[in-house]
């Protein structure tokens, strides 16, 4: 198994910062929007891969349930604002254990 992202960052960032003439100290970039930081992140990503997205935490949902709820909402003829309000009230009314 290869090195973790933080180890690679500790190696790559100072090198890239020096090349771009930007400051990188104590694990932080002086300019958080700088080209050096973007370049370093691309290099790190190519070495260790990109960080997992929230897609990895996806949960399967019953498609029949989604279809039934969608049909009810569409049938009610809600506007976007009404739909958003419905979702807010629905979330507030349900407690998960």
How far apart, in whole angstroms, are the C-alpha atoms of residue 5 and residue 49? Answer: 9
Regarding whether 15 and 37 lie in a shared domain, the answer is yes
According to the model, what pLDDT value does residue 54 have? 58
Regarding whether 74 and 39 lie in a shared domain, the answer is no
Q: Which of the two residues, 31 and 94, has the higher pLDDT score?
A: 94
Regarding whether 72 and 41 lie in a shared domain, the answer is no
Regarding whether 43 and 9 lie in a shared domain, the answer is yes
Does 17 have pLDDT greater than 80? yes
Tokens encoding 1: 């198994």
- List, in sequence order, every beta strand (DSSP E) within 1-97: 24-25, 28-29
Regarding whether 85 and 47 lie in a shared domain, the answer is no
Does 1 have pLDDT greater than 60? no
Neighbours of 12 (CB within 10 A): 19
Q: What is the pLDDT of residues 47-88, one digit of tens each?
A: 887 666 555 567 888 999 989 998 998 999 988 899 889 988
Answer yes or no: is 13 within a domain.
yes
- Full residue range of the structural domain in which residue 86 is found: 63-93
Regarding whether 47 and 12 lie in a shared domain, the answer is yes
According to the model, what pLDDT value does residue 64 have? 93
CB-based contacts of 78, cutoff 8 Å, min separation 6: 86
């Amino acid at each position: 198994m290869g090195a973790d992202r933080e180890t690679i960052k500790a190696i790559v960032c100072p090198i890239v910062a020096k090349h771009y003439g930007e400051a990188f100290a104590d694990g932080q970039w002086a300019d958080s929007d700088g080209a050096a930081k973007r370049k370093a992140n691309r290099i790190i990503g190519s070495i260790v891969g990109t960080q997992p997205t929230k897609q990895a935490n996806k949960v399967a949902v019953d498609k029949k349930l989604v279809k039934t709820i969608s049909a009810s909402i569409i049938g009610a003829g809600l506007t976007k604002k009404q739909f958003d309000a419905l979702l807010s009230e629905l979330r507030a009314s349900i407690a998960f254990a």
